[in-house]
Structure 1
């Protein structure tokens, strides 16, 4: 379709979610409105197509089914860990090691940077590790969700040895050959890193806000409420039987098994592929599901003989944990569905066409690509889909002038896509960050948005500087200095208020 009407469904879904806080209803409205547009406003056909789109997402055997099953299995494992006392024991152990709220926030930050293999895995696994620590130190679930989200895509897109790195190398291989950049996909990816201003600014902003102990916008209320709650909960009975090992071992098995199966399904062990090739060819969701099942079996062996969870309570506890994930599963399915709707409507192509038609001066093209890619990812909820559409466009624009500009222009596209995906309510990574932190989804979206906008604003200035100077490092330096100055100003203003 590729008209302005293609923008309506995502705008309806996102706007309604922010206004009403009812995410499921808002996504449903977006799906129905998109189906009506595709059906030429025939109500009966539009409603029928809406159900068919949702059912098609649920029934996808290669992606949706293992994804949903992994979420449910992880919910069950979480409940078992809680029932065994592992989370409580780990929280008590952490109190002796982590002495401050800043230290508690550094745990998911460092863990998120270390677990860079995949953004889905990052959000869910690090959430399991960090939640007992942040809860005990009075860090809100909204803050934890923000930390998880900011160390998911922004880390994965900067690391070659990740599922993102493998995908992006496949996407940039043709442009760098077509425009005679003179680099291999791996070296080109590494060269792209300093041009990805948003990912770098998002990580720097997260680190600085933890270090400066400052909260921005709606996050303040959530943090104040969490600190008040933890003070009320300080007096509690001690149970020396609740040991940290009951959380650490199942999660260690989950992480180790996930890495093994990702490499195994990618052909690392059987087809002699290198790590990057294996990551690109791996079936990540099947791998995570296999690892989740093995972790549950390991938990049964660990808990039942020691009576940490009684045999008769094991399956009921597991089932109850699965039920706790149903809300996140429904939101994820609806997000996939509206993603399919906007794909059929050609929303991404319509926005990409605006870039081609604008005929802007080359000096402002980097920031224009950043904004358009960000808008596209925000509206569609997918950064990978935005990469597929916008990378060739960014490379083509740069290729008209100089091969030296191809990678920085692609870097602007990557940064914009991560920005849009980072703050979109219909992004799967945003949804899974909420699930990993066990935070209300709309609370996560609202509290993260000011941080994302601040990082994006400073990144945008950096791309303007690059556009006029053609110096990638100068643009990055300007973004960094501007971000630090703004944060110090906000910190001083808060202190004197």
Structure 2
């Protein structure tokens, strides 16, 4: 059947309700329900049957992803409780003697903890807060560093909860080689890369922009903090290796199984790129996280960092921490399914009209960056934005025969989603960054906005120029030069205002 303009109703319902309610789960559910009603011609009973059959099929197809997220949640909780990350903080505190090095150290720890943004926010804050306080770094600056090395790092790390979510969404959109496509987006992910660059740039140059400049000079933010919910419970006997080794095992084992399932060791002599592209990503992630959890068990239990019962309790607690992510992913898979060709064919309808109106493909990355940013800012969730936009945008790319631009277009979704999530006051990672730094939430949001906006403007410019040339060097180079120019303009405006 041809559903015409009705085919765009489900994603529109999801987007509009998400903007109004600021709640993505109910918005996705109602979008799915609207799609089911349209597909079945208003037959309520058949609508529910269609929806749940589709949802069940999607869960079956992506069962390994649910298993990986469960194992990852367990691993993160176990590592936190064993005290390895806190041992890093103690070691770093003895070595760090300056304000700049305290900021750099916080940034490095944020990058090291790339497997999950929640793990990053809570751990980096708890570990680095005493060190940054001692070296006169404001709580707002620590919150900015935490926030800027959480989602921006996770979205460019192939072995992370974010990458797993994105790859599953890309795969559900019937794109061949979803991991290969994701890896190809990394150098085009302008906002994430420039945000990480900015963390270290501002840590070393000795100046700040916007409200952060006065907060850093006055150093009063530690006097106005969020309600202290206590330090994270952890073993006092943990060592740095207790953090590093399980993460290293997760990465190495996952990469090994990706190469193995991609045929790298079977004698057919594929290239590394082809092997990664053909890999069974989900089973590789499951095996990597399982073996990492076993290694953690063998490291922690004999040394009595955790009792056996406590280790098992951490697994349960960790799985529970991932339930929200699993729900969003399941609903994202389902709304993606209802908009596909065999149902409403939303992508085909939109692509037909875009092509007939001759909208050039090179402008797509900049437009989609803005749309994703607005949606993620309004809803406070990057994951929900991925779930809404990827199922819509990928079929458009396919139907417009624009697969040569898929890397930069998908990267614009990721960049816009992370930007919106990064500066939204209702984002979970923004709130957790404030909590991790024990910083007043409004101080964090207001002081971070200038950094986020100059980076977003530079990224937008990069997507326009990079989209035209479809070249990563042009895109990244243009964005970086634009960022540096904007930073020094913002610096002049900031310090001119402070003089007044």
Alignment TM class, shorter chain as reference: 0.5 to 0.7
Per the TM alignment, residue 203 of structure 1 is displaced from its structure 2 partner at its CA by 1.6
The 8 Å contact of residues 78 and 314 in structure 2, kept in 1 or not, is answered as yes
- Name the CA distance, whole Å, in 2 between partners of 1:308 and 1:473: 47
The 2-side partners of 1:253 and 1:370 are apart by 38
Q: How big is the shift at 1:68?
A: 0.7
RMSD: 5.0
TM norm structure 1: 0.68
Is 1:351 the counterpart of 2:342? The answer is: no
Unaligned runs of 5+ in 2: 130-140, 159-163, 374-384, 421-426, 434-440
Give a deviation string over 1:436-456, Cα, whole Å, max 9, x none. Answer: 99959xx9x999995785355
Aligned equivalents of 1:17 and 1:357: distance in 2? 30
- Aligned to 1:291, which of 271, 288, 291? 288
In the TM superposition, what is the alpha-carbon distance from 1:82 to its structure 2 partner? 2.3
Q: 1:238 to 1:42 in 2, by over 3 A?
A: closer
Q: Distance in 1 between matches of 2:231 and 2:287?
A: 40
Give the Å deviation of 1:35: 1.6
Q: Number of matched residues?
A: 427
- Report matched runs for 1:86-165 at 5 Å: 86-96=84-94, 99-109=101-111, 111=112, 123-124=115-116, 128=119, 132-137=123-128, 144=146, 147-151=149-153
Match of 1:247 in 2: 243
Give the Cα separation in 2 of the matches to 1:73 and 1:438.
Answer: 24
* 1:345 match: secondary structure: coil
Cα distance between partner residues in 1 of 2:232 and 2:396: 55
Normalised TM-score (structure 2):
0.68
TM-aligned CA distance change 1:356 to 1:11, over 3 Å: same
Partner of 2:413 in structure 1? 420
Instruction: Name the structure 1 match of 2:489.
Output: 489
| Offset at residue 297 of structure 1 (A) | 1.4
Distance in 2 (CA, whole Å) between partners of 1:172 and 1:216 is: 44
Is 1:263–2:256 an aligned residue pair?
Answer: no
What whole-Å deviation, never above 9, does each CA across 1:335-354 have from its counterpart, x for those lacking one?
21122122232222233223
Compared with structure 1, are the counterparts of its residues 147 and 306 closer, same or farther at alpha carbon in structure 2 (3 Å cutoff)?
closer
Match in the other structure for 2:329: 332
For the residues of structure 2 that align with 1:435 and 1:260, how far apart are their CA atoms? 33
Query: Within 5 Å, which residues of 2 pair with 1:15-54?
Result: 15-54=16-55
Question: Is this contact kept in 2: 1:10–1:380, CA < 8 A?
Answer: no
CA contact (8 A) 2:369 2:413 kept: yes
Superposed CA deviations along residues 293-325 of structure 1, whole A, max 9, x for unmatched, are 111211221111111111233222221221121
Which of 164, 188, 198 is the matching residue for 1:208? 198
Shift of 1:238: 11
Deviates more, 1:247-256 or 1:346-355: 346-355
Select which of 375, 393, 400 maps to 2:400: 393
Q: Which runs of 5+ in 1 are unaligned?
A: 113-121, 157-161, 174-185, 397-409, 428-433
CA drift of 1:284 comes to: 1.0
Q: Equivalent of 2:310, from 310, 313, 338?
A: 313
Quick check: 2:347–2:394 contact (8 Å CA) kept in 1? Answer: no
Greater Cα shift, 51-60 or 450-459:
450-459
1:451-466 superposed matches below 5 A: 453-462=456-465, 466=468
Distance apart, 1:198 and its partner CA: 5.2
Specify the SS of the correspondent of 2:306. Answer: coil
Distance change in 2, residues 1:301/1:379 (3 Å): closer
1:239 and 1:251 map into 2 onto residues whose CA distance is 18
Moved more, 330-339 or 478-487: 478-487
SS at match of 1:241: coil
